[in-house]
Chains A and B, each alone.
Chain A
């Protein structure tokens, strides 16, 4: 049977969220609402040193002065920040030595998600620091990493055990006052991951954290800090799925990357938070601040596959401070039904001979709105800066929208900047070409969608690429592929 675009569209609309389920684990939850006492309580619960409590309070005071940003091309009902509980931790402590000790219900959740810790340990060679709601409950491969001097743990653990490192770098790339959600996160972050790669060390495996939102009415405020010391290399994976919920959930994470001289960080994300059902009800609000700082000859590469969330507001950025530093951004954003995504990047060229590449692919279907918003800024002292940006949008059906808002600001004459954007649908001639060569329409559409996103998919680490492709299939390709 010939498979038409109409059918694909229909299928996309009816495709329900496959990973919606809810795990019943007793939680240790703070009362709803936010004030200085709550911030203090979070800090106290986590047994944090005084400087950390002060830092949080400072952020909270800044946050109170700030207003929620309005400029993004998204509309949503603003969350009531007093109706959220800012802390919830899975109850069953302490930490486990082996998987057998972990709550079987939790393990079951992972199984449904396809993240078998065991399997990953053996087959993929991935160390997984699982964040279930807020407190990390299982960390693997710690020993292998420790031999190399690599620190990979939850941020709360890092605050206890490596306070100097945390104190030095936290807020150095995304300061508390950076924006509304970053300030909120700085005040109330519950947990997250911390990673430190010592000088000259090449991390032998992909580091990975899976995030899950699990507790009803709990906002998830993750804080990730990755520091790659001189000449080191690390590839970091982040992926997430969330259970089906009716009320909107808020997710305001902050990720900071620091690549010192000659270091390289590759940060890959697969984001599949609950996007809301096909009437646009429910779904996660994803307001994330991600930024990396490159010193001399350093390189930061962001790769993201965004398929979930009702509202996404996310701009992984690179501050190219050092000479000869490189920033990269590869993104696929898929929106369907009533999803709204406003995502892109910022490349701030400060050092000499800095380079940046932006490849952004947007696919919109259903009644969704997909926006690319990016900034390329070349400062007056950034000699020979080079940027290439490409933003392609693919529209499926005539009820969705694709938008491009690239900002290019140049203050140096030696800059070379190219920006390209196209918007198209799957061409009848392309399908005809395939048909002519004996490929049926179903395969042809799969081929074209795959080909459209290949440039980005290719940038994902092997272990992740498989899952990303799977997610693309779920969100878009359906049974096409």
Chain B
């Protein structure tokens, strides 16, 4: 039985376990129908031209993990940003681990999707926001919606900000030979609220893991949301991350994506600007080697006037890795005075690395400033020589240059400890010890 059929038939079993009178029930049934009709996207679809899911579909994933597994904090400490105090929402094989987590209801809600979906006190918010911005026609998003049960639920009321950043960590232990996870996150920042979230998916074994995640972010008027995605998974972990962002007047949403690992990673990042004077920032650093494959698929939909968007994606590709960048800026007719900027710079280190990039502009308004730039190149020989002539070995010199190349993406990271962590990851990835902190 192929994966699609398996998922569709598992849906019945899934529904058995939960309340069918749940208001979300209809949304789920609708979603599974859509997935059943559309199935997994194939390479024939323009949006999936460069990324194939065929191999994933051949694996017999278990959809529901059978047994719980206990983990000790010391074993997984390194996957946290542990230098600072944070709220933590930790899932082990898709199941919430209260032992490892630290949630709160103190003024803000940092808790679980499962309680938000089932407890009456959240019903109003769920009705208002759940599955409202996620693209209902998208088959993988529908698949997630159908099985949506668990994930992070973050609600920041008007004029509030949580005391510390929030970390969401999804761990896979390898109890199952191959596991499919479908976390669903909902993040709501009300008027003038602020929140910082760090999300990470981590597999702890070499068993196959396939994560199809959906995150919906709502930023009301004047709200500020920072979302950091750390992707440094092992060689048998695949991730499809679907993030949908709805922004209102004057809000600022920044998403940073750091892709340093994983077998197959696809980041669908969608911004919908439903207000004026909005600032949207999308930044990413991708450093790959081996047979890794990362596909960034971004959309910024400018639907109202006087908004800005800034996109900056840097990629460094070694081994026989494959990188894809598909950035789309859509400017509606009424979205005059839009300032949209998109940049994608890439360095290919190895002869076997492949890069496909497609920066798209679709513009229907005339009084706009839209530009994109895209480059593919190598390290500057002269700069390398300059550093070498000053006693820096070639490898380190190259790393320094690549670090400098990626650095301006890091400038907008607003958690210093996270910046330091990413710096270390970059140094690690480039295989150098510089003797000083980059």
Query: Interface 1/0s, chain A 210-248, versus B by CB < 8 A?
Result: 000000000000000000000000000000000000000
Interface residues on A, range: 20 to 34
- What is the bound-complex CA distance between A422 and B89, given in angstroms? 43
- What is the bound-complex CA distance between A417 and B376, given in angstroms? 5
Query: Interface 1/0s, chain B 15-47, versus A by CB < 8 A?
Result: 000000000000000000000000000000010
Q: Closest CB of chain B to A10's CB: distance in Å?
A: 15
Query: Interface 1/0s, chain B 105-141, versus A by CB < 8 A?
Result: 0000000000000000000000000000000000000
* Chain A neighbourhood of B378, CB < 8 A: 413-414, 416
> Is there a chain A Cβ closer than 8 Å to B377's Cβ?
yes
* Chain A neighbourhood of B192, CB < 8 A: none
Contact of A406 among B348, B358, B363, B369 (CB under 8 A): B358
Contact B354 A410 (CB under 8 A): yes
* Chain A neighbourhood of B333, CB < 8 A: 398-399
- What is the bound-complex CA distance between A418 and B372, given in angstroms? 11
List A404-418 residues whose CB lies under 8 Å from chain B: 404-418
Q: Closest CB of chain B to A390's CB: distance in Å?
A: 10
Contact B355 A409 (CB under 8 A): yes
Given the interface contacts A399-B333, A408-B356, A410-B376, does A423 sit within 8 Å of B363 by beta carbon?
yes
> Is there a chain B Cβ closer than 8 Å to A395's Cβ?
yes
- What is the bound-complex CA distance between A403 and B365, given in angstroms? 11
Given the interface contacts A71-B46, A412-B351, does A404 sit within 8 Å of B367 by beta carbon?
no
Given the interface contacts A410-B355, A424-B369, does A416 sit within 8 Å of B376 by beta carbon?
yes
Q: Closest CB of chain A to B52's CB: distance in Å?
A: 15
Q: Closest CB of chain B to A118's CB: distance in Å?
A: 45
> Is there a chain B Cβ closer than 8 Å to A396's Cβ?
yes
Given the interface contacts A410-B376, A411-B354, A422-B371, does A401 sit within 8 Å of B349 by beta carbon?
no
- What is the bound-complex CA distance between A397 and B375, given in angstroms? 31
Contact B360 A403 (CB under 8 A): yes
Given the interface contacts A398-B365, A413-B353, does A421 sit within 8 Å of B375 by beta carbon?
no
> Is there a chain A Cβ closer than 8 Å to B175's Cβ?
no
> Is there a chain B Cβ closer than 8 Å to A380's Cβ?
yes
Q: Closest CB of chain B to A393's CB: distance in Å?
A: 7
Interface residues on B, range: 35 or more
- What is the bound-complex CA distance between A409 and B371, given in angstroms? 20
Name which residue of chain A comes closest to B364, CB basis. Answer: A401
> Is there a chain B Cβ closer than 8 Å to A143's Cβ?
no
> Is there a chain B Cβ closer than 8 Å to A420's Cβ?
yes
Contact B359 A404 (CB under 8 A): yes
- What is the bound-complex CA distance between A72 and B373, given in angstroms? 23
* Chain A neighbourhood of B68, CB < 8 A: none
* Chain A neighbourhood of B360, CB < 8 A: 403-406
Contact of B355 among A395, A408, A416, A423 (CB under 8 A): A408
Name which residue of chain B comes closest to A405, CB basis. Answer: B360
Q: Closest CB of chain A to B306's CB: distance in Å?
A: 15
Name which residue of chain B comes closest to A375, CB basis. Answer: B358
> Is there a chain B Cβ closer than 8 Å to A472's Cβ?
no
* Chain B neighbourhood of A403, CB < 8 A: 360-363
Q: Closest CB of chain B to A151's CB: distance in Å?
A: 42
Query: Interface 1/0s, chain A 362-382, versus B by CB < 8 A?
Result: 000000000000000000100
Contact B350 A423 (CB under 8 A): no
Contact B372 A404 (CB under 8 A): yes
Name which residue of chain B comes closest to A404, CB basis. Answer: B361
- What is the bound-complex CA distance between A403 and B374, given in angstroms? 16
* Chain A neighbourhood of B373, CB < 8 A: 418-421
Contact of B348 among A401, A405, A410 (CB under 8 A): A410
Contact of B370 among A396, A409, A419, A422 (CB under 8 A): A422
* Chain A neighbourhood of B346, CB < 8 A: 410
Contact A421 B376 (CB under 8 A): no
* Chain A neighbourhood of B354, CB < 8 A: 409-411
* Chain A neighbourhood of B352, CB < 8 A: 380
Given the interface contacts A401-B364, A403-B362, does A419 sit within 8 Å of B356 by beta carbon?
no
> Is there a chain B Cβ closer than 8 Å to A402's Cβ?
yes
Contact A400 B374 (CB under 8 A): no
Contact A419 B374 (CB under 8 A): yes
* Chain A neighbourhood of B366, CB < 8 A: 395-398, 400, 425
- What is the bound-complex CA distance between A407 and B326, given in angstroms? 9
Query: Interface 1/0s, chain A 416-438, versus B by CB < 8 A?
Result: 11111111110000000000000
- What is the bound-complex CA distance between A411 and B350, given in angstroms? 9
Contact of B376 among A380, A400, A415, A424 (CB under 8 A): A415
Given the interface contacts A407-B358, A410-B355, A415-B348, does A395 sit within 8 Å of B363 by beta carbon?
yes
Contact B336 A398 (CB under 8 A): yes
- What is the bound-complex CA distance between A423 and B353, given in angstroms? 32
* Chain A neighbourhood of B368, CB < 8 A: 395, 423-425
* Chain B neighbourhood of A414, CB < 8 A: 378
> Is there a chain A Cβ closer than 8 Å to B213's Cβ?
no
* Chain A neighbourhood of B375, CB < 8 A: 416-419
Contact B372 A420 (CB under 8 A): yes
Contact B376 A423 (CB under 8 A): no
- What is the bound-complex CA distance between A265 and B30, given in angstroms? 58
* Chain A neighbourhood of B365, CB < 8 A: 395, 398
Q: Closest CB of chain A to B365's CB: distance in Å?
A: 6
Given the interface contacts A71-B46, A408-B356, A423-B368, does A402 sit within 8 Å of B374 by beta carbon?
no
* Chain B neighbourhood of A424, CB < 8 A: 368-370
- What is the bound-complex CA distance between A63 and B249, given in angstroms? 53
Contact A401 B362 (CB under 8 A): yes
Contact of A408 among B336, B353, B367, B374 (CB under 8 A): B374
Contact B351 A423 (CB under 8 A): no
Q: Closest CB of chain B to A480's CB: distance in Å?
A: 17
* Chain A neighbourhood of B362, CB < 8 A: 401, 403-404
Q: List 23 A-B contacts (CB under 8 A).
A: A395-B365, A397-B366, A398-B333, A398-B336, A402-B363, A403-B361, A406-B358, A407-B357, A408-B355, A408-B356, A408-B358, A410-B348, A411-B354, A413-B378, A416-B375, A418-B375, A419-B373, A419-B374, A420-B371, A420-B374, A423-B369, A423-B370, A425-B366
Interface residues in chain A, defined as those with a beta carbon under 8 Å from any beta carbon in chain B: 71, 380, 393, 395-425
Known: A393-B361, A423-B363. 19 other contacts (CB 8 A): A380-B351, A393-B363, A402-B363, A403-B360, A403-B363, A404-B359, A406-B359, A408-B374, A409-B355, A410-B346, A415-B348, A417-B376, A417-B377, A418-B373, A418-B377, A420-B373, A421-B361, A424-B370, A425-B368
Question: Which A-B residue pairs are the 3 nearest by beta carbons?
Answer: A413-B348, A395-B366, A417-B376
